[in-house]
Amino acid sequence: MPELKKLLSFENNGFVMDNSLRVFLENLFGAMPEHEWQLLSSTMQPLTIAKNEDLHPIGKYCKHLWFLEKGAVKVYELNNGEERNTHFFTAFSLFIDYHSIATHTPSEIGFRAVEDCSIYALNYAALLTCYDQSPYLERIGRIMAERQFVMEFELRRLLLNYDAKQRYAYLMQKQPEIFQRFSLKDIASFIGITPVSLSRLRKSK
């Protein structure tokens, strides 16, 4: 999306922030009215997360929606005491732990930076207030939640019904960039095989 490189700046609580999120949303939904952008930007807090640092650890209540402007983030869960990766996100991605938000329970998944990251955290309670004030923002939130549901449905089908070769093919088709941004160990964890088996699988293609 070349438009995402044309970034403006604005001030928020003393921080100088670019409006890459606005450009991201406008690329999907068309021009955003200035009033709505001011409402949305009032919920945003810029974060810098170092490589290998947790943005949101397992066991913490989720209170934010995150927009990843720069870097790469993996999502992991614990399976018999071992970490298993469940999602990969690169720049210009929105993500959240909807289960923790909706059930008001601690997160069973964690979010960890695998590169130095620039992230905007949107306070979810403040975001709901924005939805009450703006049908435009409420519509965007609803559509983005529907997209999240579709993504999770596809992921569940992938994990339940696909073998390792099919999962590898899915990643190559849907997220080929992750093979340059994430380690073979991380990708193998997602697929459910060892890094050695993944290397063999890649060589066979």
**5, pLDDT greater than 80:** no
Which residue has 């923790």 as its token pair?
A: 100
In tens, the pLDDT along 68-110 reads 999 999 999 998 889 999 999 999 999 999 999 999 999 999 9
Residue 48, token pair as written in the block = 């810098």
Residue 74's pLDDT is 98
> Which domains does the chain show, CATH number per domain?
2-161 (2.60.120.10)
Q: How many angstroms separate the Cα of 153 from the Cα of each of 100, 139, 167, 188?
A: 18, 21, 15, 21
Mean pLDDT of 142-146: 94
Residue 205's pLDDT is 67
| Pick from 197, 201, 198: nearest CA to 182 | 198
Of all residues in the chain, the percent with pLDDT exceeding 90 is: 73
Identity at 129, one-letter amino acid code: T
Residue 18's pLDDT is 61
In tens, the pLDDT along 14-54 reads 333 468 999 999 999 999 999 999 999 999 999 999 999 99
Task: Describe the strand order of the beta sheet including 117-123 as a list of residue ranges.
Answer: 44-49, 117-123, 64-70, 93-95
Q: What is the mean pLDDT of the chain?
A: 89
CA atoms of 96 and 62, how far apart (whole Å): 8
pTM of this prediction? 0.86
Mean pLDDT of 57-70: 97
Split at pLDDT 50, 70, 90, the class of 6 is very low
Split at pLDDT 50, 70, 90, the class of 7 is very low
Strands (E) in the chain, as ranges, are 9-12, 15-18, 44-49, 54-56, 64-70, 72-79, 82-90, 93-95, 109-113, 117-123
CA atoms of 87 and 21, how far apart (whole Å): 21
